[in-house]
Structure 1
């Protein structure tokens, strides 16, 4: 109703002058006041809803944003979140190296390397298709049952670095996340390699470089620069997926927050953990947007 009233007043206030200019002015004023009316009506409706259901909002605030529970649980949650950050940093380093190995296997030429190429393709298809939580569960609980020598050695690992407990669960969690994100990052690498024009490789081969030297000194340096923005997107996902380690019983941030919430029948501790993740992921997202924009500007300048 307010929108119609403002639109009607707009028509009445416009000077009745013939011609296209007057019609355009009349139309602009009508649209402006109609938008103002709709905005005021929306604000009024929102205030009315808040006022009529204030008790419900108070209950929601107490359940999710209780300052008392957030402040009392935050030291414990932050201690667990440090483990999330440690897993993320170690897994990120491992993913970069492992994905590079996979993409090099997939790019190997010749019939002799065909089994390696197929092995790389199967690995990428399998671990991109499996849910991350399934992979984590199979690795953390399945590998210790195999009695492999290297897994038996991992069982004896137990030390502390900068307040972070490094043990079997930590290492197996890193392995699981590396397997999952190695498949995604390998495809990112491959797209970067294929984006390098074939003439670059041809020129390098013409200068006497071997296939491996061409890939190492010519193709890969250009490809890595081009895939930094999509790599950042994958690492944002990796940081968030460290919370999935709770399925293995790792006392990372989410597990600590969940236990506190269960003991106190309040989810504010989980909201506190969410804020911790946002403090990490939002700057990474903004950095990714900046890198994408910078690459677009660079390509426009070169074209």
Structure 2
């Protein structure tokens, strides 16, 4: 009993430690107040500068017209729903294909050299080629072969996104796999696990935890790039904004589409920042000064 009491007493913070924590809280509150005040002052100065420029009235009418935004909103939001559907299926396809590529590139032994070379060539090709060119090649080139049934343009846009982003994400997975210490694999094989069981139960869970922030950032980037499917003629948010702009001779629909994409990406951006900070705190355990 006495040892249990001593163990519990050891976890009670001292008065000095409590004072330090109170000081840190006060300092954090002061820092937040100063940051808020400086940001507010900076925003006011920028606003005053912009509204006093000679061309502000024309720019406001052409890019920030509330009446035009309200009129274009139903069609732009309908196009955004297409972007969300494409993003959903593209994310699933990228996840599956990129993991397969990463596993191929981590295979050992000379017998697997052709697979490793194929996976390496694929990632080099699609990491170096701009997404918009892949969209043109896939969206217009593959249907031109005449060997596939007629498919909507958003289908080919989804395929192009999967092909391009799988090359990037597979390298993220591969980096996570190689970051797992070799002793983990050796221990698993010593326990009788096969190569597949070792990758599935030991290596991949650790690898995914290591690269989760990078994967979340790639997903944010894909949320933005999904708007490029408009070059294939799909009536997404960007294409709908283009149609509205052509009808009204006003660029406000483009601004509206951009704001909707920001709102779509904002939750994931904040979640990425929160998760990254959480991992940093757990790894460094308060070592940040």
TM-score with structure 2 setting the length:
0.80
Per-residue displacement from partner, 1:52-72 (whole Å, max 9, x unpaired)?
x4x622211111110010000
Question: How far off its partner does 1:224 sit?
Answer: 1.0
For 1:127, the equivalent position in structure 2 comes to: 126
Q: How far off is 1:96 after superposition?
A: 0.3
Distance 1:47 1:64, change over 3 A: closer
Q: CA deviation at 1:299?
A: 1.2
Give, in whole Å, the separation in 2 of the partners of 1:170 and 1:48. 42
CA RMSD, Structure 1 to Structure 2 (Å): 2.2
User: What are the residue-to-residue correspondences of 1:95-106 with 2, within 5 Å?
Assistant: 95-106=94-105
How many Å separate the matches in 1 of 2:205 and 2:87? 25
Equivalent of 1:234, from 197, 218, 235?
Answer: 218
Q: Give the whole-Å Cα distance in 2 for the aligned partners of 1:170 and 1:186.
A: 23
Matches within 5 A, 1:203-282: 203-282=187-266
Equivalences for residues 1-303 of structure 1 within 5 A: 47=48, 50-51=51-52, 53=53, 56-148=55-147, 151-152=148-149, 155=150, 167-301=151-285
On the 8 A contact 2:50/2:56 being kept in 1, the answer is no
Structure 2, unaligned runs of 5 or more = 1-40
Between Structure 1 and Structure 2, how many residues are aligned?
A: 246
CA–CA separation in structure 1 for the residues paired with 2:116 and 2:45 = 64
- Aligned in 2, Cα 1:49/1:216: closer, same or farther, shift over 3 Å? closer
Q: CA deviation at 1:284?
A: 1.3
Which segments of structure 1 move beyond 4 Å, counting only runs of 4 or more?
Answer: 43-51
**Shift of residue 147 of structure 1?**
2.9
Q: Which has the larger radius of gyration?
A: 1
In structure 2, the CA distance between the partners of 1:77 and 1:212, relative to structure 1 (3 Å rule), is same
- Shift, 1:301, TM fit: 3.5
How far did 1:46 drift?
7.8
CA distance in 1 between partners of 2:64 and 2:46 (Å)? 25
Query: Shift in Å at residue 267 of structure 1?
Result: 0.4
Q: Structure 1, unaligned stretches of length 5 or more?
A: 1-39, 156-166
Separation in 2, partners of 1:216, 1:89: 24
Output one character per residue of 1:197-229: Cα deviation in whole Å (capped at 9) or x when no partner: 111111111111122221111000111122111
Distance 1:44 1:192 in 2: 45
